[in-house]
Each structure stands twice: as C-alpha cells, then as structure tokens.
Structure 1
Amino acid sequence: MLAKFISYALLPVFYIQGITVKRTVPVLPEPIGSRRGQNGVGSPLKLLVLGDSAAAGVGVTHQRKALLGNLIDNLKLHHQIDWQLHAQSGATTADTIFELDNIGKQKLDVIVTSLGVNDVTSGMRATTWLSKQLQLRQKLIAKFDPKLLILTSLPPMGDIPALPQPLRWFVGERAKEFDQLLKNSCQGVTQHLSVDVGNIDGMIADDGFHPSANLYKVWGSKSRR
C-alpha cells in the first residue's frame, strides 16, 4: 500500500525521467542476419522466436550472437531446425497479436516469446497485460499447435543501468508484478523461463538497456533445456 502511494506521488518525476531516458539512451539497431532458414542434423524441429527488441537481438550486431543464433547453436547437433524470427523493437503484446496475422498457419514444435518490457513502460495495468498475454497464447496454440511454448520472464528492470532512480525502482517493481502473473498463468504446453542471472556485470549492451552477447548466450542455453 505504501509503495503504491509513493508511486502515485512520484508520477511527475517518473514522467520527466522517462522523457530524459528516451532522449539520452542510444537507439541500437536490430542485428543483421537471416530471419528464416534451416540448420542442423537429426530429428526435425520447427522453431519460432517471437516478440520485442530482445527477441530481435538488439544489443549485438548479428543474429548469430542473438537469441536466435544461440538457440540454433544449442539445437543443431541433434535436430534439423526449420527456424524463423518475427520480432521488432518496441513491440508490445498487442502488437505481436496483430503480427501473427502475417505468419501463415503451420505446425510448429517450439515457440519462444520475449514480451513485456514495452508493456511495463507503457503504463498498462498488470491484469490488462495478462489478459493480452492469454489472448496471444490462445492464438499461438490455435494457429501453430506447438509442443512447447516458452514464455521468457521479464528482465530484472530494477537493475537496468540506463534507468535513473527512482524510475528504475518503479519499473523494476512493475516488472516483478507482471512476471509473477505470467509465471502463475503457465499451464499445459506453456513454460515460464527465468533468465535472471543475478550479477548483471557483462550482461548488458552498450546502451545500458538491452542484453549483451553474454546474456543472449545464457538465454539460448536455458531455452534449450
């Protein structure tokens, strides 16, 4: 209750700090590299990576070093992977629901999503976001019938160096709330994947916000398990 009161009292500060962050944090491009292809040997596996700038690999220069590339590296020795990436910087859960209309209906084995950061910073209520997540999940299952749907946890936004205090504290608490709802909602083919590495040294890109190559490597390894 006290935290909510403090949050409301500090809303003008959060607003000003948010504008400052948008002006001062460098905008990194999405990495180059193919977004669809086939790799590996072994049993067939159809993979889709879906979501926001982290799913797109912002923070590294090539898809080989991003989440997609690390997933492929972890799977290609045992699977013939038919992979595709549909992700865009700034994407919210609602944006991604619409993006699914651009992907043809097909049978997929594994879907990995990365969503929530842009929903947190938009000011959306956590319960509204969960409703959108459930809508997305329903559409993914109906359209692609995956064997496994991996929902990546929200990052520990309270540790992101590009965000000043008290904004960092505020979005950090919101991210925890969002992620707990996401985790509690998982059932059936859905699985919550935590990529919290504890110590973030070396895990953040030069912009102080996005994952570095080191974090993408950890993320890809954890997703494979």
Structure 2
Amino acid sequence: METAEVTDAQIKIGECCEEIEAQVISRLGLKPVLEYQSLSSIKNLQGRATGYARVYRGGVVEKAAFLSLNFMPGMCYFNVHLIPRACYRIPRFSFEGMLTPQGSQISMDLYPDMDIMLNLEYFRNHYKRAADTYTRARFDSTALVTEPSRMLHMRAFASPFMLLAYGIKESQVADFSRYAQTYLQDWMDLCSASQICSEEEVEDRTRRREIIMRTIIECDPDRDKVVMLYGEEVTQQIEQATML
C-alpha cells in the first residue's frame, strides 16, 4: 500500500491495534499460529497486497486475531478479535471498524458468548471499566453520537455496553483508540482471574459461539463485497483465521 493512501485515522487506528497486539502477546505469552501465516500478506484478485491477518494462541487464549484490509485508497477495515478458550469464563474482546474519508464506523465490546444477565454478580464485578467508558462516550461527548448496531443479530449477541458509533470524524478516532484500551484492560483482568467454567457451561459456550460466528458470517451485508475483491477462497480463509 502506498504511503499516500494512508489517512491520519488509519495511522491512529493502526497504532492502537499494534499496541493491543504487543500488549496481549507480552502479557499472555502468545505465539503465532503457523497455519495462518499465508495471510500475513493478503492479496486481492488483481494480485495486489492490500492487507494482513496475524493470529496468535497461548494460555487462556484460543485465538487472538488482528486483521487489516485496505479495500481502496482511503478505505480500510480493521478487526481485533480476542477469543478465550471456552473453558474460561471470559468474554471475547472485539474492536473493529470501517474507516473512510467521509466518516468512519467503529465498535468495541466484551462479547459474553452467554447471556451475562443470567449471572448478574459477574456482570457487575467485571464490566465496571467498560460501563464507565461506555457512559462517558455516550453521554459526556456532545460531538459523538453512539447507537445500537443496526444489525439485529449483532445486537442480540452484544453486551449492554457495546460501544458503536457511525459517521465518526477523523478528529474523534483517537478517542475511540483510548476507549478500546479501557475495554481491553477489563478483558486482561478477566484473563488474569481465569475462572473455570463447568463442563455444562463449556458445552453451552462452545455451541453458542459456533452459532454466533456462523450467523455473523452469513448475515454480514458486506461479505459479497469482500468476495468480489478477494475471491471466495481467500474470504473463507480470513473468516477461519479471525472468527472461527
């Protein structure tokens, strides 16, 4: 990708994602997953390298995936998806968005994989920073309008503190990078606690996670656009690396 195609927003988000990547690798002792190394440079159907996916694993983490795709000059999709092993009572961490010169969409959440409201004590004890950040972003900023996801299936799978905004100006991207860090710190604390699930909960979590990921893939309104740019085979490889 040529330097001229990189916007200030992309630089800020790229720096944030790299910082998250370095933090989780260092603190959790993650190692690269060799089977996904072919995605270290993702090429479109014209043979041009326009992105990457890096995947790690280790300890409590089943998969830590970092994805960046530059669809066209000035338009970039990024996704950080941290997936704990199903035997631990830890939500998934997600930080993703589409950056465009006209305005960006960014979201983050600690996706629970199970209905966290069934365990109110866990919810109150482990979503404190996320709750505070969500409130600050939603109510203390007059320039930023947050809202629920416009996709019904995403709203169904999210926590009460999924932080999402459309039409983000370039000047607001740095704020979202800071918000993502506070969500990450909650997630890292949960990894340190490493509460073990019961066998029944592990089975339920594994089954529900599979349903969630398959539903997101099948309901993604932009999947056809990715296939047009990269082909079905590469699109499936990206999905396998970053979601499943």
TM-score normalised according to structure 1 size: 0.29
TM-score normalised according to structure 2 size: 0.27
Higher relative contact order (CA 8 A, sep 6+): 1
| Higher share in strand | 2
